[in-house]
Structure 1
Amino acid sequence: MGRTDNAKRNLIWGFIQKIVSVLIPFVSRTIMIYVLGMEYIGLNSLFASILSMLSFAELGIGSALVFSMYKPIADGDDDKVCALLAFYRRCYIVIGTIIVGCGLVILPFLDKFITGDVPSDTNIYVLFLIYLFNNAVGYFLFAYKQSILIASQRIDLVSKVNLIVSFFLNVLQIAALLIFRSYYAFIIILPVSTCVSNLWIAYVTKEHYPQYICKGMIGKEEIKVIAEKVGGLLCQKIGNIVLCNVDAIVISSFLGLRILGIYNGYFYVISTLMGFLYIIQQTLIPSVGSSIAKESKEKNYKDFSKFQYIYMWIVSWCSVCLLVLFQPFIGMWQGTENMLGIEIAVLMTWYFFVYKMGDMSYVYKEAIGLWWQGKYIPLISSMVNLVLNISLVQIIGLPGIIISTIISAICVNTPFGSRVLFKHYFNSNKLWLRFLRDVFIWFVKCLVCCGITWICVSPVGNGIIGMAIKAFACIIIPNLLLLAFNFKNAEFKEAFAFGMGIIKRKSKRRKSMSNMNQKCFTVSNIRTEIRGGVELSYL
């Protein structure tokens, strides 16, 4: 199948899976707030952040191995793919062992990460061990086989499995909360679902790609290439882990579990939006990787500009929706007593925009494998974030946590992260400066859209009806403004033509399938008439 067809299929199933994995956990989280309390949400967030920090042990081997599989899969070199898979399995066993060991080392110091009281009916050490088992078990249980599906551009199969498992996991967790009203009953289901998911994906991989089994050895040169990529990915992995997870640990340590739980509600909203956008990224990476291997740099830069344009339109629109709907939604969901000030909503919206504005350069760097070239950037960014986190939280409290991430993204991540792509692949400093200029222009456009939309909806009250009116306004006003800003741009015309091309291709395919079905129907009728005549003659 073509790259566009693969990307479209993966995108559709990725979104379906994400919708289910957002809506059901949303219900589960809501029930937890009202059945157990906000402290449990904070505890859940803290443990998830600590264990995400431990996942540095993966070192980015998964991404490096998937990247190494693109070419042999495209060339039909099954022996090399099998050797890479065997190497991947051995690495994952070592990684799982390291994660368990690091988790056991951290176990005695858990109480140091929490300020204030812990729920009286819980043992944080037992809960942490359950989380640790869930985090590590996948490495021992066929998680490496998922790489085959990703490298083969069949992420839709992974999405289907995750969709079903996630649905039943959350249904069981909701039932456990309502029946037993116990956090232990809620959390024990998690490792069971992880085991089921990994076993199922292993089965699906074997059904679709039986030729790929763990056998053979890769050469020393291949190991050297992978080790170099892993070296670059290690820095990126550590940097991203610190950047994404240190906030929760700092909030718990300085402000307590309740504030962390309330903040996590706001972060849950933007992380959900980020999750949908992440589907777009993951869908594009295999297709971009295939294009990088086959097309010219000029063609790939043209595609990059087109994708960046479409993506920034989506990010800008999402930012407007966040600013306008944040507070009404949180008030209806968590209750007005569990709301933070409007300044937090504004900062979280800004956080979302600056965190996503460099995503397309990340997609291309990931597809090309430019990990080593930008290895120090995530480390520098995470260190800036960590130092500012600890400093500003003691001066201005919770806003300091968000501001520190915004500063690290604006000053380090986006400018220097994107430069790696333009220096080492597109080989153009001029194109890099143009990229930064375009990002700034998008920020100004987004700021104007946010301001005008906010002014237009400010007279509207809250509640279900008020929120529905604001949501409708968010669909219409910012998109009309963005259309007014962009309709004369060459990038807009290319993006529009790209979208129309997909629609026409889909329409043409449907027409072709309809004609084929009609022909099959006609042939079937002729055969039936012939068969009927024979049967009649026989009688």
Structure 2
Amino acid sequence: MSRVSYSIKNVKVSLTFYMLVLLLNFFSRRIFLETLGNDLVGLSETVMGYIGFLNLAEMGIPVAIANVLYAPLFRDDRERVTELVSLLGWLLRLVGILIAAAGLVFAVFIPWIFAREIAAGLDAGVIYAAYFTFLITTLLSYLVNYKQNLLVADQKGYEVARVFNLCLIAKVLLQMALLKWAGAGYLSWLLLEVVFGVVFAVWLEAVMRRVYPWLRSSPRLGRGVVRKYREVFAGVKRIFSHRIAGFVLTQSDKLVVAQTLSLTAVTFYTNYSLIINRVTAFITATLQNSYAGVGNLVAEGDRGKIKLVFWQFNAMYFWLGGTLAFGFYMLVNPFIELWLPPDRYELFSGLIVLMLVGTLFVGLVRQTVQYFLNAYGLYHDVWAAWTEAGLNVAVSVWACLHYGVAGVIVGKLLSTGLFMLLWKPYFLYRRGFKESSAEYWLTLAKYFALIAGTWLLVGWVVGLGWLPPMTTWGGWAVNALAVPLLYGLVCGGAMYAGSEGMRCFVRLAAGLVRGAVAKRRR
């Protein structure tokens, strides 16, 4: 299969499962909140945040190995692929041991970390049960599931998506049934987390043997080829710093809210961040194969094709980012009112929602530059990762103490905006493309102007009152269809008229559609 064919297959699988999981997650969250309560739901999310901190011990090893895997996969060098997967297994086994040891040490401090919650009546045994449940499922990914990185690097991420999502759907359905209709408690919910973690590991191994019957990797072999692949370790040192920044951006917000406010506040904040994360995860999962595709493209070295693909991706992500950001702003508060029981949510003000929109937009439009930085192996800007992480934490903690949840969002928006929209593109042009970044800034200004202009125009049109009120699911569904569609058409048309990148993307998409139709007719 070609690179484009693999991309299309990944999109199909990811899109199908995303829609199923999205509906299931929103339905299940209501049941979990009704049966478990705000504190236990907030506890699970907070504990997963702390486990994410332990995951920093992974140091970006899978990313570093993936960068080295692109070339042998392109040449079908099975011996080198086997050695690299074995090396990954050996390194992640060491990481797993380190995380297990650090996790046991961290567990000693749980009574102090959750002192306020324990004093309020939350059983310490329940906190420990949640902590060790998520620690065990995390360790499985290092000790057993490491081979999935080969599938992703080889543009076969759809295999991982299929297994993971089927396990997720089955797990959530059983959790809902046990809580809602069998009267089971939180411990049974946690038990199913572990059970399906094991099911996923066993199933994934079976898939690996089917797709790569020639793969005979082992951590022992990986230990023997350590010196042969010293370039991996050079990349790990740099990627680790970027992993820290990534953790801070994705996990620290919940931890800051938990420590400065309460677990209930974590639940209220997560009602919004869950939607943002699902939207972002949908886009990134659907196009996850693009990471490997861009890596293979850079490995080929065709400079003209590299820049063409860059501008296609850039136009697509700015268009998607603007459309989804506008839809989120218009639809999210009415959705939460319909979605959750009245005592299980707190609606944020329009200003806070607008700041959340900014984090959603930056999280989407950053993808293109990140694809190409990864493909070129550009992790040399270690100072930027540390500065971004430090700025995020400092601003978030100070602002959260003074302004509540809004402060956490300000910290995240400020740090990501400075580094993801300003520094990273400049670094890519300077070290990757090796040319002036002037064309990027001119295009960026044009995109922002078109997106803002469309926002004002479509906002005015929607405000005329021709859509039904969003007080029922039917009214909300009509708005959810009409608002993003109207914005997407207007913004897409404006970008098509003013951007060569958008025109290239549209021609590519039209060609793929015509090819698919012709294939079906044959």
TM over 0.5: yes
Secondary structure of residue in 1 paired with 2:331: helix
User: Take 1:492 and 1:123, find their aligned partners in 2: how far apart are those partners?
Assistant: 52
2:429 alignment counterpart: 422
CA distance 1:220–1:101, shift in 2 (3 Å): closer
CA distance 1:392–1:308, shift in 2 (3 Å): same
Instruction: Give percent identity, aligned residues only.
Output: 20
User: How far off its partner does 1:325 sit?
Assistant: 0.4
CA distance 1:280–1:295, shift in 2 (3 Å): farther
Secondary structure of residue in 1 paired with 2:433: coil
What is the letter of the counterpart of residue 444 of structure 1?
A: A
| Alignment partner of 1:408 out of 415, 424, 440 | 415
The answer to whether the Cα contact below 8 Å between 2:11 and 2:287 also exists between their aligned partners in 1 is no
| Alignment partner of 1:500 out of 487, 506, 510 | 510
User: How far off its partner does 1:288 sit?
Assistant: 1.1
The reply on whether 1:392 has 2:410 as its aligned counterpart is no
The reply on whether 1:184 has 2:194 as its aligned counterpart is no
User: How far off its partner does 1:449 sit?
Assistant: 3.2
The reply on whether 1:148 has 2:154 as its aligned counterpart is no
The reply on whether 1:467 has 2:470 as its aligned counterpart is no
**How do 1:215-294 residues align onto structure 2 when only pairs under 5 Å count?**
216=221, 219=225, 222-294=228-300
Once the two structures are superposed, what CA deviation does each residue of 1:188-212 show, in whole Å capped at 9, x if it has no partner?
Answer: 1112111111221111111121111
Worse-superposed segment, 169-178 or 478-487:
478-487
The reply on whether 1:157 has 2:153 as its aligned counterpart is no
Secondary structure of residue in 1 paired with 2:266: helix
User: Take 1:243 and 1:255, find their aligned partners in 2: how far apart are those partners?
Assistant: 19
Secondary structure of residue in 1 paired with 2:520: helix
The answer to whether the Cα contact below 8 Å between 1:67 and 1:369 also exists between their aligned partners in 2 is yes
The answer to whether the Cα contact below 8 Å between 1:270 and 1:352 also exists between their aligned partners in 2 is yes
The answer to whether the Cα contact below 8 Å between 2:317 and 2:364 also exists between their aligned partners in 1 is no
Worse-superposed segment, 237-246 or 215-224:
215-224
Worse-superposed segment, 483-492 or 266-275:
483-492
2:173 alignment counterpart: 171
Once the two structures are superposed, what CA deviation does each residue of 1:367-391 show, in whole Å capped at 9, x if it has no partner?
Answer: 22222x2333222111100000111
**How do 1:4-403 residues align onto structure 2 when only pairs under 5 Å count?**
4-114=4-114, 116-117=116-117, 120=122, 123-141=126-144, 143-178=145-180, 179-214=182-217, 216=221, 219=225, 222-337=228-343, 338-342=345-349, 343-371=351-379, 373-403=380-410
User: How far off its partner does 1:147 sit?
Assistant: 2.2
The answer to whether the Cα contact below 8 Å between 2:30 and 2:341 also exists between their aligned partners in 1 is no
The answer to whether the Cα contact below 8 Å between 1:115 and 1:252 also exists between their aligned partners in 2 is no
Once the two structures are superposed, what CA deviation does each residue of 1:311-348 show, in whole Å capped at 9, x if it has no partner?
Answer: 21111100011000010011111244412232322221
User: Take 2:115 and 2:331, find their aligned partners in 1: how far apart are those partners?
Assistant: 31
User: Take 1:483 and 1:61, find their aligned partners in 2: how far apart are those partners?
Assistant: 38
Secondary structure of residue in 2 paired with 1:339: coil
Worse-superposed segment, 212-221 or 286-295:
212-221
The answer to whether the Cα contact below 8 Å between 2:10 and 2:287 also exists between their aligned partners in 1 is no
CA distance 1:157–1:476, shift in 2 (3 Å): closer
Secondary structure of residue in 1 paired with 2:104: helix
User: Take 2:112 and 2:329, find their aligned partners in 1: how far apart are those partners?
Assistant: 35
CA distance 1:236–1:352, shift in 2 (3 Å): same
Once the two structures are superposed, what CA deviation does each residue of 1:125-179 show, in whole Å capped at 9, x if it has no partner?
Answer: 22211221111123222x1221221222111111111121111111111112122
Worse-superposed segment, 340-349 or 111-120:
111-120
CA distance 1:221–1:34, shift in 2 (3 Å): same
User: Take 1:344 and 1:111, find their aligned partners in 2: how far apart are those partners?
Assistant: 33
User: How far off its partner does 1:281 sit?
Assistant: 4.1
Once the two structures are superposed, what CA deviation does each residue of 1:236-264 show, in whole Å capped at 9, x if it has no partner?
Answer: 11111112111101100011011110110
User: How far off its partner does 1:355 sit?
Assistant: 2.6
Once the two structures are superposed, what CA deviation does each residue of 1:481-501 show, in whole Å capped at 9, x if it has no partner?
Answer: 214422323233222211111
What is the letter of the counterpart of residue 486 of structure 1?
A: M
Secondary structure of residue in 1 paired with 2:109: helix
Worse-superposed segment, 386-395 or 103-112:
103-112
Secondary structure of residue in 1 paired with 2:497: coil
User: Take 2:283 and 2:419, find their aligned partners in 1: how far apart are those partners?
Assistant: 21
CA distance 1:166–1:503, shift in 2 (3 Å): same
The answer to whether the Cα contact below 8 Å between 1:457 and 1:473 also exists between their aligned partners in 2 is no
TM-score (norm: length of structure 1): 0.90
Please report the RMSD computed on the Cα atoms of aligned residues, expressed in angstroms.
2.0
Once the two structures are superposed, what CA deviation does each residue of 1:199-242 show, in whole Å capped at 9, x if it has no partner?
Answer: 21111111121111116456566432000111111011111111
TM-score (norm: length of structure 2): 0.92
1:438 alignment counterpart: 443
What is the letter of the counterpart of residue 376 of structure 1?
A: W
The answer to whether the Cα contact below 8 Å between 1:115 and 1:257 also exists between their aligned partners in 2 is no
1:537 alignment counterpart: none
The answer to whether the Cα contact below 8 Å between 2:450 and 2:495 also exists between their aligned partners in 1 is no
The answer to whether the Cα contact below 8 Å between 1:289 and 1:368 also exists between their aligned partners in 2 is yes
The answer to whether the Cα contact below 8 Å between 1:57 and 1:95 also exists between their aligned partners in 2 is yes
The answer to whether the Cα contact below 8 Å between 1:14 and 1:156 also exists between their aligned partners in 2 is yes
User: How far off its partner does 1:112 sit?
Assistant: 4.1
Greater C-alpha radius of gyration: 1
Gaps of at least 5 residues in structure 2 are none
What is the letter of the counterpart of residue 213 of structure 2?
A: P
CA distance 1:123–1:27, shift in 2 (3 Å): same
What is the letter of the counterpart of residue 434 of structure 1?
A: E
User: Take 1:185 and 1:303, find their aligned partners in 2: how far apart are those partners?
Assistant: 48
1:531 alignment counterpart: none
What is the letter of the counterpart of residue 485 of structure 1?
A: A
